[in-house]
Amino acid sequence: MAEPVTIAALGDSLTQGYGLPPEDGFVPQLQAWLQGQGADAAILNAGVSGDTTAGGLARIGWTLTDEVDALIVALGGNDALRGLDPAEARANLDAILGEAGARDLPVLLVGIGAPGNFGPDYRAAFEAIYRDLAATHDTLLVRDFLAPIVAQADRAAARAAYMQADGLHPNADGVALIVAEMGPAVLALIDRTAAAHGSD
C-alpha cells in the first residue's frame, strides 16, 4: 500500500487519553510504537471521555469517513461502571461491528473487565460480550484494555505505579505497558487491512 493505513480508534476516556498530556495518551503512544515497528499507519483518536457503547454507536456513522481503513473498538467500560444491562452493551457493540462489516473494514475489538460490585453473574455476562462478538464478526480481539496492569501479582503496587490517582485511568507508564501488550494485535489489524486492500 502506497499510503499509510488509517485506523480510527473508537473509544472512551481510555482511548481519549484522560488526565494525561496529549503526547502521553493511548493514541500518540500507540502511533509512536507502531512507527518504531516500521508500520505505516495513522491512528485517529475517536475517543470521547464518558462515552458508553450507546454513545459509540450514535457516532459510528460519522467516525467512519472515507479515509478510514480499519477500526479499533474499545468501549464498554462506562457501561460496566454504571451497571448498565450487558444485553444493551452487547446489542450496541454488535451494531457497531455490523456497520464496520458493511463497509468491509477490519476491526480490533478491545474488551474491558467489569467491576466486581455488581456480582459475578454480571461480570461474566459482560466479559463474554467481547469473546462472543469477536467470533461472530471475525474480528481480532484483545480481551481487556487494562490486562497488563490487572495481571500484575501485586495489585496495590501496580495501581500505584501504573494508574492515575482515580484508580480508573492509566498514567503514562501504564499506557506504555498497554501499548506494548496491544501493539502486536494492532500490527495484525494492519496486516489484515493491507491484505483486504490487496484483494480489492
Q: What radius of gyration do the chain's Cα atoms show? A: 16
- Please write the tens of the pLDDT for every residue from 66-109: 999 999 999 999 999 999 999 999 999 999 999 999 999 999 99
**Structurally, how many domains does the chain consist of?**
1
Give 112-156 pLDDT, tens digit per residue: 999 889 999 999 999 999 999 999 999 999 999 999 999 999 999
* Residue 14, pLDDT score: 98
Catalytic residue among 13, 69, 79, 137: 13
Whole domain around residue 94: which residue ranges? 5-198
pLDDT in tens, 9-39: 999 999 999 999 999 999 999 999 999 999 9
The 10 Å CB-count burial string (b at 16+, else e) for 97-128 is bebbeeeebbbbbbbbbbeeebeeebbebbbe
Element (H, E) at 130: helix 120-137
Is-contact 177 145, C-beta < 8 A?
no
Active site residue 197: no
Task: Say what the pLDDT of residue 116 is.
Answer: 87
169 belongs to the catalytic site:
yes
What's residue 199's pLDDT? 55
Span 44-65, average pLDDT: 97
Reading the block at residue 30, the C-alpha cell is: 500507540
| pTM of the predicted structure, to 2 decimals | 0.96
CATH code of the domain covering residue 140: 3.40.50.1110
- Out of 51, 69, 144, 169, the active site residue is 169
Sort 191 into a burial class: Cβ within 10 Å, 0-12 / 13-18 / 19+: middle
pLDDT of residue 181: 97
Report CA torsion sign: 3, 7, 8, 12: negative
Active-site annotation holds for 199: no
Which pLDDT does position 31 carry in this prediction? 98
